[in-house]
Amino acid sequence: MNKNQKRGTKMGNLNRRTLVAALGLTTALSLTGASWAQDVPKVAAIWTVPVEQQWASRLHNALVAAEDRGEIDYVYSENITNTDYERVMREYAEQGIALMVGEAFGVEQPARTVAADYPEISFLMGSSLPPVEPNFATFDNFIHEPSYLTGIIAGMKTETDQIGMVGGYAIPEVNRLMHAFMAGALSVNPDVTFSVSFINSWYDPPKAKETAFAMVDAGADILYAERFGVSDAAKERGIFAIGNVIDTAADYPGTILASALWHGEPMIDQAIADVKAGTFAARDYGIYAFMEYGGSSMVVDEELAGAEAVEAAKAVEASILDGSFVVEINDSEPSSTQ
Amino acid sequence: MDILLDIFASANFWAAAIRIATPLIFGVLGALICERAGVLNLGIEGIFVAGAMAGWLAVYLGAGLWGGVLIAALAGAMFGLLHAFLTVILGLSQHVSGIGITLLATSASYFTYRTTLPDVSSPPRIAPFQPIAVPGLSELPFIGPALFQQTLFTWLALALVAVVAFVLYRTPLGLAIRAVGDNPASVEAQGLSVRGLRIGAVVIGSALMALGGAFLTMSAFDAFFFGMVNGRGWICIALVVFASWQPGKALLGALLFGAFDAFQIRLQAEIGQVVPGQVFLMLPYLLSILALVLVARKADYPRALLQPWTKGQRH
């Protein structure tokens, strides 16, 4: 299929909804004027999961907070399947938004195609691939630094020297957190071994729980909880768990030793500021998840973890913040050790 | 080999197998009743979701645990009624209607969840069914921890296997249900209503399916997540064939699948560094297909499965 034919098909696909949206846009612009849109930029987010999912919630909450401060107009769609993702992107694009936030992990190429079709819109998308000039910026949750710190806590706290780790899918954004956690634990306790399992689902808490039970049966006394369900198993069996992305300590009293938290605000606020200032560029916004920018942090239950472990973790935290220690980023698939 | 022996000799392994099997037992019983009456119910996956959501939400809103079980069953029965209307009364394609029910029930569940709890940041938890220790029996070596650390919900599933088997094979109603799926003309000749029996079977079967979903949110876990049913309904459709439409074998099939899954979970953690984890995730399905291939060659389908019936028709 040559280029012209392709364009012809695209025009043919122009449906009634798009036309209505386009008409609505024209009307809106003529009524309000484009300058108004710049003062309070309209931001659209498209999530492939419900907004209460850990990952999406970090950014969703940051966007809601920005709207509450009156900085943006925020609209979003949740639970959009990857097959539907491009259509929803185009519908929002036709509504004259200034910034689109979302996740391109399952739609890397289509998302970039849409971005190319709407050069006036800034795109900030979760992605495993590089940004594309001029308007397609990328990000990811780089919280490997606090993950390393929680590893230190777990490594010092384990008595059986066995740690169980349950993940969703073995993809880079999960793998690097697990590797950092393992490196942190090994840095203080070379004897520790890890059981690693993936359940190949983001949302199957009963299965995650069963997987965690199996690890406890095999002797693990600390669980790395990448998914919902794992901390439940830890609580039921009276052992400890390490949290990830969000702080769930209140839901599992006496269970969560420490958590590696992701904060969406530094990146979202930076992106909004860049859009307003007209300096939004196709770059990697993932760095705003680094501890240096306040995009991630470790929270630790000092009573459960004990002073010694907390002290060791805080010491490394300080050297990460002053730049004297760099946590390695390893995206390869982790596996059990013996 | 030591690893394998260790796994199979562990009571916790068998306890896990039964836990994993429980939702499948409900689902496969439900599908079995529908199909025995001649109606394929591919709405099962969505009905699981509806049961998971309705039961959990009812408990969250103040109904007791057993109230939640009842609500879940009613939600399933409602979708069963819709499926029966489309396939039994209107005689539409059972495949198409079933898939439609799955899509509708899934979306309707999420819609209800979202509109009822618009502001929650993470799904609220309920106090789920707790494992109960049976005095005396729980202390038995091996069997005690394997069998007697389950919740009442699991016992309900096991009891239902006996009930369904009894009704199907020992009562006039069961005879009529089996006949309506094999030879509806004979049922009509008896002066019984083919459509009435089929509608009843689909409604009851769908209610059981919903209990499978409810187990996930009310016993295996304590909150509802979108997508958490994760194909368990579809597995039941395969298990019915494996079970040759017999309740006893259905229980066996569900337990077998539960054991496969509990096995792969343990194997993955033990020797995951040698073999990629995806191989283990594939294992229960692969073994199920293998079992199906071996069993399904002799599959004895209900003769009138997928065939709608019009009152007074001659053959």
For B18-54, what is each residue's pLDDT tens digit?
Answer: 999 999 999 999 999 999 999 999 999 999 999 999 9
The 8-class DSSP code of residue A333 comes to: P
Q: Please check whether residue A168 is in contact with residue A201, taking contact to mean a CB–CB distance below 8 angstroms.
A: yes
Count CB neighbours of A320 within 10 A: 19
B135: in domain: yes
Asked if pLDDT for residue B238 goes beyond 70, the answer is: yes
Q: Give me the residue spans of the domains in chain A.
A: 33-139, 144-262+293-321
Task: Determine the distance in angstroms separating the CA of A170 from the nearest CA of chain B, rounded to an integer.
Answer: 9
Structure tokens at B257: 């699948």
Average pLDDT, stretch B187-200? 96
> Nearest CA to B46 among B96, B86, B99, B95?
B99
Domains A33-139 and A144-262+293-321 share a fold: yes
Please state, in angstroms and as integers, the Cα–Cα distance from residue B68 to each residue in A34, A286, B130, B196, B202, following that order.
53, 44, 15, 28, 21
Per the model's pLDDT, the better-predicted residue between B114 and A184 turns out to be A184
DSSP string, B124-193: PP---PPP-PPTTGGGSTTHHHHHTT--HHHHHHHHHHHHHHHHHHHSHHHHHHHHHHH-HHHHHHTT--
B123: in domain: yes
> Nearest CA to B87 among B203, B191, B226?
B203
Structure tokens at A142: 């780089």
The residue written with tokens 């994760």 in the block is B230
B154: in domain: yes
**Cα nearest neighbour of B14 on chain A:** A214
Asked if pLDDT for residue A7 goes beyond 60, the answer is: no
- Provide, for chain B, the percentages of residues in helix, strand and coil under a 3-state DSSP scheme, each rounded to the nearest 5: 70, 0, 30
Q: Please check whether residue A295 is in contact with residue A135, taking contact to mean a CB–CB distance below 8 angstroms.
A: no
B100: in domain: yes
pLDDT of residue A8: 38
Q: Which of A10-24, A267-281, B291-305 has the lowest mean pLDDT?
A: A10-24
Determine how β-strand A240-245 pairs with β-strand A222-225: parallel
Interface of A with B in 76-135 (CB under 8 A): 79
The stretches of A218-263 forming alpha helices (DSSP H) are 230-237
Band (pLDDT 50/70/90 cuts) for residue A103 is: very high
Q: Does A63 touch chain B (CB under 8 A)?
A: no
**Cα nearest neighbour of B3 on chain A:** A218
Average pLDDT, stretch A301-319? 95
Residues B152 and B157: their CA atoms lie apart, in Å, by: 9
What mean pLDDT, rounded, does chain A reach? 88
Residue B244: exposed, middle, or buried by beta-carbon count in 10 A (0-12, 13-18, 19+)? middle
Q: Please check whether residue B42 is in contact with residue B101, taking contact to mean a CB–CB distance below 8 angstroms.
A: yes
For A52-77, what is each residue's pLDDT tens digit? Answer: 888 899 999 999 999 999 999 999 99
The residue written with tokens 């060791």 in the block is A312
Determine how β-strand A193-198 pairs with β-strand A136-139: unpaired
B123, B221, B227: residue with CB nearest A232: B221
Tally of residues, chain B? 315
Structure tokens at A196: 């690693």
Band (pLDDT 50/70/90 cuts) for residue A15 is: low
Residues A325 and A317: their CA atoms lie apart, in Å, by: 9
Domain of residue B149, residue span: 2-296
Cβ contacts below 8 Å, chain A against chain B, sum to 101
Q: Does A52 touch chain B (CB under 8 A)?
A: yes
Residues A77 and B296: their CA atoms lie apart, in Å, by: 44
Among B122, B217, B283, the residue to mutate for chain A (most A Cβ within 10 A): B122
Residues B254 and B29: their CA atoms lie apart, in Å, by: 10
CATH superfamily of this structure's domain A33-139:
Response regulator (3.40.50.2300)
Count CB neighbours of B63 within 10 A: 15
* Number of domains within chain B: 1
Residues A299 and A322: their CA atoms lie apart, in Å, by: 19
Q: Does A199 touch chain B (CB under 8 A)?
A: yes
For B47-75, what is each residue's pLDDT tens digit? Answer: 999 999 999 999 999 999 999 999 999 99
Task: Determine the distance in angstroms separating the CA of A320 from the nearest CA of chain B, rounded to an integer.
Answer: 31
**Chain B residues within an 8 Å CB radius of A84:** none
Nearest-Å Rg of the Cα atoms of chain B is 20
DSSP string, A275-295: HHHT---SSBGGGGGSGGGTS
CATH superfamily of this structure's domain A144-262+293-321:
Response regulator (3.40.50.2300)
Contact: B19, A217; criterion CB under 8 Å: no
Query: Which ipTM was obtained for this model?
Result: 0.90
Contact: B10, A213; criterion CB under 8 Å: no
Contact: B121, A202; criterion CB under 8 Å: no
Contact: B273, A229; criterion CB under 8 Å: no
Q: What is the CATH number of the domain that holds B44?
A: 1.10.3470
Asked if pLDDT for residue A12 goes beyond 60, the answer is: no
